Structure 1
Amino acid sequence: MSTPLWPEERVSAGTEREVLEAFLDCQRRQITAKVAGMSEEDARRRVVPSLTTPAGLIKHLTAVERNWFQRQLAQRDPADIAGNSRGDDQSWELGPGDTLGTLIEVYDEVCAESRRIAAGFALDDAVPSKRLGEVKLRWIYAHMIEETAQHAGHADILRELIDGATGL
């Protein structure tokens, strides 16, 4: 019996868009799987000098998703977006009501909104960007894969340092 294929493997001969979407979703799954099952205390534990914590990674990536898909791609006014949509230092800060469960729930909802927004654009569709001049959906996908994978790696190391868990 052969091992079932992962979603990103099932698109090995897919279109560019299918590959980009599958790999971004893969990294999204990795980050939430890596922190799943942690205690609230451990999810907030700082083991590096920065604000980086397992729970903070989820909160930050939620803000980054909002930034690139809601602010940049959909061109929504930041005042109309619930929660941090800048991905700045404040996006790492945990409030007293932030639980790992609620942070993952909000992250999943924001990722679903990102998918919905992206579905209305072609990879070559460009939108204005204050910093970049313009940005295409293709670039946003590539950037979000890089950003999410980087932080999934951070979560992997933090988890091992905090409770010794490795792998998924």
Structure 2
Amino acid sequence: MQAGTAGEREVLEAFLDFYRDVLVHKVRGVPDQDAGRRLLPSLTTLAGLVKHLTVVERDWFHRLTDGPGAPPADDGDESWILTDTDTVEVLLAEYDRTCSRSRTIAAGYGLDDVVAHPNMPQVSLRWIYVHMIEETARHAGHADIVRELTDGATGVYG
């Protein structure tokens, strides 16, 4: 597929997958202790970014099949808080499974299909894609900064 000339859906999927991949590359290989270390006043850590984006994937894509009555997956700051079992390996595996399920769910819908959401009366799959690209890209940028503060690695896949 030539991303520059692909159809709308393929472009949305490609950009979202690109930023998902950037996040994974920013975290993979970082020791658990470093990935969970807070270098900023906020709760933002490399491991926390993966955990948070896993919850965000569920809150938007999985809602398509969970229905409007399902409680939001994101409980504010809770999605950033790490437990003893939140290793890099475990978090990345769960993120991969969650993104895979998101892709499968989205494949069953058209871009104009809508779903109710607790935060908005209705959203289309197109809107979900755009929002998730924005959310994932923003947090991939955070991961870029935190990774540089952690060990000096820079660049898209550094």
Q: TM-score, normalised by structure 1?
A: 0.88
Q: Which amino acid aligns with 2:113?
A: D
What residue number does 1:4 align with?
none
What is the 5 A alignment of 1:29-108? 29-71=21-63, 73-76=64-67, 78=70, 85-86=73-74, 88-108=76-96
What is the 5 A alignment of 1:2-17? 10-17=2-9
Tell me, which stretches of 5 or more residues in structure 2 are unaligned?
A: none
Tell me, which stretches of 5 or more residues in structure 1 are unaligned?
A: 1-6
Write the distance in 2 (CA, Å) between the matches of 1:161 and 1:86.
27
Instruction: String of CA shifts for 1:28-66, please: whole Å, max 9, x gaps.
Output: 000000111111111001000111000000000000000
Q: Which amino acid aligns with 2:123?
A: V
1:116 aligns with 2:107: no
Highest RCO, 1 vs 2 (Cα 8 Å, sep ≥ 6): 2
Which of 137, 143, 147 is residue 125 of structure 2 equivalent to?
Answer: 137
Tell me how far 1:75 sits from its aligned partner: 3.1
Which of 14, 20, 41 is residue 12 of structure 2 equivalent to?
Answer: 20
Tell me how far 1:123 sits from its aligned partner: 0.2
Q: Which amino acid aligns with 2:120?
A: L
1:127 aligns with 2:115: yes
Tell me how far 1:130 sits from its aligned partner: 2.9
Tell me how far 1:131 sits from its aligned partner: 2.3
Query: Secondary structure at the residue paired with 1:38?
Result: coil
Tell me how far 1:11 sits from its aligned partner: 1.7
Write the distance in 2 (CA, Å) between the matches of 1:152 and 1:87.
21
Q: Which amino acid aligns with 1:64?
A: V
Aligned residues: 155
Which of 122, 142, 145 is residue 154 of structure 1 equivalent to?
Answer: 142
Moved over 2 A (4+): 75-79
Tell me how far 1:162 sits from its aligned partner: 1.1
Write the distance in 1 (CA, Å) between the matches of 2:75 and 2:20.
16
